[in-house]
Amino acid sequence: MTESRPLASNSARVRVCGLYAGDALGAGGGSLGRVWGIDWTLGHGIHAVIGTPEDGTAALAGVLTGELRPKRGSVYIEGVAPFASAVCRRRIGALLPRSTGLGGTVRELIALSHAVRGGDVPLDRLGLGALRARRNQTLSVPEARALELALALATPTPSLVVLHEPWNGVAGVDPIGFRELLLERAASAPVVVLTSVLTEVAKLADSVHLLEGGRWAAVDGGSGWLARAAEKLLVWLEDPNGLVTPELAATLSTRVENARSVSWERIAGPPQLGLVAIAADDLEAAALTVSKVCAELAVNVRALATTPLERAALLGLVRAAPSERSP
């Protein structure tokens, strides 16, 4: 199930202007990835950044959380630069590429987080309750990252949550609990997810940015593709005469609950195919309705799929429409 959470345009919490920054993940402390000329304004919601550390995702995560100082440009969270303010960082949840474990036990770390930032670390909701009795230094890297994910989601009223690859190299996290927490935090704060796991992005993100070589290569809407808000159910029909497709589209627009749009087009080729695209909040329910209506109209369905948000496809779209790229 998905839910619609439109972004409030006047609730910008994070402002990034002309950002140039590099991470410190390269050999000898040099930069593995950099970002150039990034301008970004964020309100609440889940904002996905697709890319790899080489594209600058780690650098972007570092400057957003205050770990790294921008080389040029600025990052302000509610008007304060996170690198220069401990008070600002208290309300930022961060899961970064490198694990930064403290000593002592997990219980002590949780108590410290609670004392400094308030809020409870949601270990149990994430299925990580067993970590509580462990010592930090005995945690494996995926376990330490899972603990950092829990710490990142602990702030009760965050100003920003930044999660770098939360679906990679993180051990034992309950996906349902994680998703619920993500949506809860995103209801009131910007949640930036930097990832290369596109299937999760397609389910969750309110906006998607493609980071390529340190620059925005594409921003949703700007290159003809969108994130969850415009995920669609695609239905290919056998329609030699071109008559069934418009009729089916019209029927579906009234029968599919919460349908945001239903469009159709004829596809040339032997045999002739028709394509109906449905944007709806609940694509699974839409698919059931489609199968019922098709059975009623005796229409032969050749294929049925949701729009995949694949990197190759995104790049294809970006390259196919260079004039539509966003800055």
Partner 1 sequence: MIRAIRVGIALGWTRTGPRRVGVLLGLGGLGHAGVALAVRSSSRLGAPDAVLGLAFGFGLPLIAYGAVATALASTDLSSATWAAARLGLSRRGVAIGLSLSAFLTTLLVLMPGLLIGLGVAYGSLPGGARDVFTSTGLVVLGAAAYVAVFTLASTAMKRGRARSLALFLDFLLGSGTSVLALPFPRGHLSSLLGGEALATLSQRQSSGFLGGLAVAALLLALGRLRD
CA separation, residue 263 to residues 70, 80, 232, 251 (Å): 45, 45, 10, 11
C-alpha torsion sign, points 81, 85, 90, 96: positive
* Torsion on CA atoms 153, 158, 162, 165, rounded to nearest 10: 20
Asked if residues 275 and 265 have their Cβ atoms less than 8 Å apart, the reply is yes
Nearer of residues 83 and 264 to partner 1, judged by Cβ: 83
Q: For residue 250, what are its two tokens?
A: 């019209």
Exactly one of 1, 86, 133, 298 binds partner 1 (CB under 8 A); which one?
A: 86
How far apart are CB 321 and partner 1 at their closest, in Å? 40
How far apart are CB 192 and partner 1 at their closest, in Å? 15
Residue 139, helix vs strand vs coil: coil
Token pair 């045999």 is found at 271
How far apart are CB 297 and partner 1 at their closest, in Å? 58
Exactly one of 65, 195, 245, 251 binds partner 1 (CB under 8 A); which one?
A: 65
- Would you tell me how many other CB atoms lie within 10 Å of the CB of residue 324? 14
How far apart are CB 120 and partner 1 at their closest, in Å? 14
Exactly one of 30, 129, 240, 316 binds partner 1 (CB under 8 A); which one?
A: 30
219: left (phi over 0), alpha (psi -120 to 50) or beta: beta
Nearest CA to 48 out of 37, 36, 60 is that of 60
* 115 contact partners, CB below 8 Å, separation of at least 6: none
Token pair 């550390």 is found at 53
- What's the maximum distance between 2 C-alpha atoms anywhere in the chain? 72
How far apart are CB 88 and partner 1 at their closest, in Å? 8
| Total interface residues for partner 1 by CB under 8 A | 30
Token pair 């930022």 is found at 92
**Span of 22-30, 219-227, 261-269, 290-298 interacting with partner 1 by CB under 8 A:** 22-30
Cα–Cα–Cα angle for 204, 210, 216, rounded to 5 degrees: 135
Nearer of residues 86 and 298 to partner 1, judged by Cβ: 86
Nearest CA to 25 out of 77, 113, 96 is that of 96
Residue 145-174 contact track with partner 1, rule CB under 8 A, x = bound: ------x-----------------------
Token pair 């949703």 is found at 220
Binding of partner 1 at residue 79 (CB under 8 A)?
no
CA separation, residue 15 to residues 75, 76, 82, 160, 221 (Å): 6, 5, 11, 11, 20
How far apart are CB 28 and partner 1 at their closest, in Å? 6
How far apart are CB 232 and partner 1 at their closest, in Å? 39
How far apart are CB 66 and partner 1 at their closest, in Å? 8
Residue 96-135 contact track with partner 1, rule CB under 8 A, x = bound: x---xxxxx-------xx-xxx------------------
Exactly one of 12, 24, 219, 230 binds partner 1 (CB under 8 A); which one?
A: 24
Nearer of residues 28 and 269 to partner 1, judged by Cβ: 28
Binding of partner 1 at residue 13 (CB under 8 A)?
no
Exactly one of 83, 178, 216, 225 binds partner 1 (CB under 8 A); which one?
A: 83
Binding of partner 1 at residue 141 (CB under 8 A)?
no
Q: For residue 138, what are its two tokens?
A: 């005995």
How far apart are CB 186 and partner 1 at their closest, in Å? 21
Binding of partner 1 at residue 1 (CB under 8 A)?
no
Site residues, partner 1 (CB under 8 A): 24, 28-30, 65-67, 69, 83-87, 89-91, 94, 96, 100-104, 112-113, 115-117, 137, 151
